[in-house]
Amino acid sequence: MAEHRLPPVVARMWGRETSPRHGPRPSLDLGRIVDAAIRIADRDGLEGVKMSSVATEVGVATMSLYRYVGSKDELLIVMADAAAPEPPVLDGRPWRVYLTDWTRANRDFLLGRPWLLALSQHTPPAGPRSLRWLDRALAALADTGLGYGERISIATTLAGYATRQAALAHALNRTAAATDDSIAGLAGYGDILGQVLDPDGYPELTAAVRANAFGVAAEWIDNADFTFGLDLLLDGIQALITRGNS
Amino acid sequence: MAEHRLPPVVARMWGRETSPRHGPRPSLDLGRIVDAAIRIADRDGLEGVKMSSVATEVGVATMSLYRYVGSKDELLIVMADAAAPEPPVLDGRPWRVYLTDWTRANRDFLLGRPWLLALSQHTPPAGPRSLRWLDRALAALADTGLGYGERISIATTLAGYATRQAALAHALNRTAAATDDSIAGLAGYGDILGQVLDPDGYPELTAAVRANAFGVAAEWIDNADFTFGLDLLLDGIQALITRGNS
DNA sequence: GATGATCTATGTATCCGATACAGAGTACGA
DNA sequence: TCGTACTCTGTATCGGATACATAGATCATC
């Protein structure tokens, strides 16, 4: 099996740096930097994260950071992993219960840190935290009789669902803010659509808007809608398991 | 019902600009600009899209663009909508067949234009193209007995699935490229994981890697894996419909 | 315990890209 | 025939990432 070189970022995330024998002892470590960056992102959003602001937060000169990360992009990638919490503990609950919890927890931390959404696109999960999430999901499905490939697909799909759901909620909030209207996101959204749609080109959508489907859905997003789609997925998984074991 | 002001970008996407009575006739229109920007993105990726490069492509001065878009961000939003193709035609096929097609087509154009993935986060769909996709999905579900809210949720979920799937495929390709290995993305990914994981912290994942779950899945991504997850969703939807009509 | 190789931390300099602003030209309405 | 409202463009600024070079610290080795 050919050895693949570890991308430098990945090595750093796992602390696999070859520690040097010479020179002054480093005065910080990647963790401190990443924490500072996360703190800033939480406070000011991703735009607030500049090499200079992070450096100030840590208390060093801007260029010092480059001793620990290869570039700003690298920093962002490491942040994306470090900002995730630990996955829910696996305590023998049935897979469906655990995965529901898992998916919801996944969405929830994305809601709390919307800037993560912008980062999720960059790399496949390869940090300690993300992989722990993956590992737990695989474990939850261990005695379903499903193969690894299937289990991985399921975990990916659920994580994707959580991401999407969070992204949607966040996007709606943004529009609400942009329109600087106090009206709830979805209602405003429906309202905007109503102004713009022509009934011929968009018959069904127009009908939906007229039926106030968006207005009604306004509070859905948080709970019912999430559960709704999730249950679709879980039902599908359930069916798969049953099929496989019959 | 309170009137919500249309965000300027939205107005522009729908050509709702108030055309001025005075002054020289505009020498271009938003469409030309957006097309140029898309051409550049296709060729050089999103990083290649600079106000200056777009201006050059169109053949005007950089600052001229600002007469048509309020900012670069606005341009990106409009691009995101314009870059989508038309949804598959609705020709009376059963909903499941159509939505399968719809979702696949959705994923496919994202695969062809990976830069769209980075933009999807910015706004909820409010452009003519995106909304046509939504409209068609709603229409496909018209005689299932489902309400508008449910249909919208379904469409959203499926679109999210397509996005996620495309993002995953793309991310894997990126890692493959970054490792500058000729090995297929997923295999290389599994390989990397193998180097980094400790079996105690990640028991299931380690097992999966050892079982070469990622290596085996290498070609999956394109077909089987996609269909797999999609069928989970569709099965769930099917169940919902049956339940509702009983 | 001196010396040089190897590191770290930092300051300065550059480069790039978005956009504010101001001026010059143009078409329509009166 | 103006004046006004608009378009196009060049120049200027500003913010932010990062290359590069310097100064000081530490350890290995003799």
Domain CATH code at residue B197:
1.10.357.10
Q: Cα(A45)–Cα(A191) distance, rounded to whole angstroms?
A: 28
Kindly indicate the confidence band of residue A219, based on its pLDDT and cuts at 50, 70 and 90: low
Q: Identify the pLDDT of residue B2.
A: 38
- Do B194 and B150 sit in the same domain of this protein? yes
Both A63 and A107 in a single domain?
A: no
Least CB–CB distance from B152: residue in A121, A150, A208 = A208
Of B55, B82, B109, the one marking the end of a domain is B82
Closest by alpha carbon to B4, among A227, A179, A239? A179
**Tokens representing A32?**
């401190």
Query: Which has more pLDDT, B122 or A162?
Result: A162
Place B3 in a pLDDT band, splitting at 50, 70 and 90.
very low
Tokens at residue B73, please?
A: 């961000």
Instruction: Pull the structure tokens for residue B167.
Output: 């993002």
Chain B, nearest residue to A5 by Cα = B179
- The confidence score (pLDDT) of residue A61 equals 96
How many CB atoms are located within 10 Å of the residue A23 CB? 6
Residue A1 falls inside a structural domain: no
- Residues A118 and A175 placed together within one structural domain of the fold: yes
Domain boundary among A82, A103, A137: A82
Domain boundary among B49, B82, B115: B82
Within a domain: A108:
yes
Domain-embedded: residue A240: yes
CA distance A36 to A68: 13
Contact check, Cβ <8 Å, B135/A213? no
Q: Provide the shortest C-alpha distance from residue A32 to chain B (in Å).
A: 22
Spacing of B73 CA from C20 C1' in Å: 17
B29-51 as b/e: b if 16+ CB within 10 A = ebeebbbbbbebbeeeebebbeb
Contact A179, B5 (CB under 8 A): yes
Alpha-carbon gap, residue A111 to A171, rounded angstroms: 11
- Together in a domain, A36 and A102: no
Q: Which of B44-53, B131-140, B235-244 has the lowest mean pLDDT?
A: B235-244
Q: Does B1 reside within a domain?
A: no
**Of the partner residues B7, B134, B231, the one whose CB lies closest to the CB of residue A179:** B7
Query: Are the C-beta atoms of B82 and B130 separated by less than 8 Å?
Result: no
Structure tokens of B173? 């390709």
In a shared domain, residues B29 and B148: no
pLDDT of residue B9: 80
Q: Which two tokens stand for residue A136?
A: 């737990």
Could you identify the residue written with the tokens 């289990």? A151
In a domain, A89, yes or no: no
Range of the domain at B169: 95-245
The answer to whether residue A155 sits within a structural domain is: yes
For residues B28 and B199, give the distance between their C-alpha atoms in angstroms, rounded to a whole number. Answer: 61
Cβ-nearest to A168 among B16, B149, B156? B156
- B126 and B68 within one domain: no
The DSSP line for chain B is -PPPPPPHHHHHHTT-PPPPSSSSPPS--HHHHHHHHHHHHHHH-GGG--HHHHHHHHTS-GGGGGGT-SSHHHHHHHHHHHTS-PPPP--S--HHHHHHHHHHHHHHHHHH-THHHHHTTSS---SHHHHHHHHHHHHHTGGGT--HHHHHHHHHHHHHHHHHHHHHHHHHHHHHHHTT-SS-HHHHHHHHHHHH--TTT-HHHHHHHHTTHHHHHTTGGGTHHHHHHHHHHHHHHHHHHHHHH-
Lowest mean pLDDT among A13-17, B34-38, B175-179: B175-179
User: For chain A, what is the mean pLDDT?
Assistant: 84
Q: Higher pLDDT residue, A65 or A8?
A: A65
User: Which chain B residues touch A207 with a CB distance below 8 Å?
Assistant: 148
Report the C-alpha gap between B238 and B94 in whole angstroms. Answer: 12
pTM: 0.86
Mean pLDDT for B78-89 is 96
Total domains present in chain A = 2
* Burial class of A1 by CB neighbour count within 10 A (0 to 12, 13 to 18, 19+): exposed
Q: Is A122 found in the same domain as A75?
A: no
Do A73 and A16 fall within a single domain?
yes
> From the alpha carbon of B21, which nucleotide's C1' atom is closest?
C28
| CB A27 within 7 Å, strand D | no
Residue A44 has pLDDT above 90, yes or no: yes
Cβ neighbors of A212 (< 8 A, separation 6 or more) are: A190
Residues A129 and A186 in one domain: yes
The domain that holds A19 is classified in CATH as 1.10.10.60
Structural domain contains residue A88: no
Q: Is the CB of B22 under 7 A from strand D?
A: yes
Tell whether B65 and B100 lie within a shared domain: no
Establish if A113 belongs to a structural domain: yes
Q: Answer yes or no: do B73 and B109 share one domain.
A: no
**Are both A182 and A119 inside the same structural domain?**
yes
